[in-house]
Amino acid sequence: MADTSRTVLMMGNPNVGKSALFNRLTGGDAVVSNYPGTTVDYTKGVLIENGQEYEVIDAPGTYSLEARDAAEDVAVRLISENPGATVLVVLDATRVERGLYLALEVIERGCPVIIALNMIDAARERQITVDTRVLQRILGVPVVPTSAVSGEGARDLAGMLRKAQKVDIETVRARADGQFDTPEQSGGCTGCGGC
């Protein structure tokens, strides 16, 4: 099997801005539209960051890893076919809760994960605040606020890709239950720069 350690797989719910962010990261031409199900097949692109070349894959949106339709099936297959790939989970900052389910599922699979908190501009406008630092500490993976329309955060996100983390779901649960002040015991500092 091909080396997939430099592959970045973008996963997330439909219509959260994955394709828009993909275009920002790779300069690609993925189709961006305002309805769920725009992307029904994957698109590949290349991102060069710090002399490191990544292959970025924009997957169709999915609500969970149990595929509901053929487009979701493509996404779920991509994650199995690219073991070792970094999974960039894109969350919509205005509806974090929905995306978290998929994020947890991906974490449970044992993939190295990094999270983009996209649509941060829309969240601000709707007066929704997401505490990025707490989210980062509970999940133990880097969380980068982005706006694919303005480009805000895209560079930071690219720079953070190499800091994607594999985490044990039980430690996530322990930290979520309140003991998140002991990062050393629970998998070590994520080095995500959030502290």
Partner 1 sequence: MALPVQERWDLVDIIARKTVAAGAYRQNLGDVLGDLTVRPLTGIPVAFAVLYAFWSIFSSFAGALVTDGFMVKVFDSHWLPWLQGAWSDPASIHYFLFVGDPLAENCFEAFGMLTSGLFVAIGVVLPAIIIFYLMMTVLEDSGYLPRLAVLMDTVFHRIGLHGYAIVPVILGLGCNTPAVTATRVLETRKQRFIMMTLLAIFIPCGAQLGVMLEVIPDAVGWVMLFLLIGFGIFGFILDRIIPGSNPEILIDVPPYHWPLWENVTKKLMNRTKSFLKDAVPFVLFGVLVVNVLYLAGIIGALADLFEPLFVTWFGVPKETVGPLVAAFLRKDLAVAQLSAIAMTPYQMITAVVLVSIYFPCVATFVVMLREGWKELAAAVAVLVATVFIYGGLIHAVGILMGVA
Partner 2 sequence: MKRLSELEYGESGVVREIRASQHELNCLGIRMKKQVKMITRQPIKGPVVVVVDDMEVAMGLDTAEGVVIETGEHEGS
Ligand X SMILES: Nc1nc2c(ncn2[C@@H]2O[C@H](COP(=O)(O)OP(=O)(O)O)[C@@H](O)[C@H]2O)c(=O)[nH]1
**Element holding 90 (H helix, E strand):** strand 86-92
Q: Give the full edge-to-edge strand order of the sheet including 113-118.
A: 43-49, 52-58, 7-12, 86-92, 113-118, 143-145
- Nearest approach in angstroms of CB 154 to Mg ion is 16
Any idea what the Cα angle at residue 192 is, between residues 5 and 156, rounded to 5°? 80
Give the contact letters, 22-51, x = binds to partner 1 (CB under 8 A), - = no: -------x-xxxxxxxx-xx----------
Q: Which is nearer to partner 2, 97 or 181 (CB)?
A: 97
Q: Which stretch binds partner 2 (CB under 8 A): 78-86, 96-104, 110-118, 176-184?
A: 96-104
Task: Please tell me the distance from the alpha carbon of residue 184 to that of residue 62, in angstroms, as a whole number.
Answer: 33
- Nearest approach in angstroms of CB 145 to partner 2 is 20
Task: Please tell me the distance from the alpha carbon of residue 65 to that of residue 151, in angstroms, as a whole number.
Answer: 29
64 binds partner 2 (CB under 8 A): yes
Q: Which residue from 6, 134, 155, 162 is in contact with partner 1, where contact means CB under 8 A? A: 134
Q: Which residue from 4, 6, 42, 74 is in contact with partner 1, where contact means CB under 8 A? A: 74
171 Cβ contact partners less than 8 Å away, ≥ 6 residues apart? 140, 186, 187
Q: Which is nearer to partner 2, 77 or 126 (CB)?
A: 126
13 binds Mg ion (CB under 5 A): no
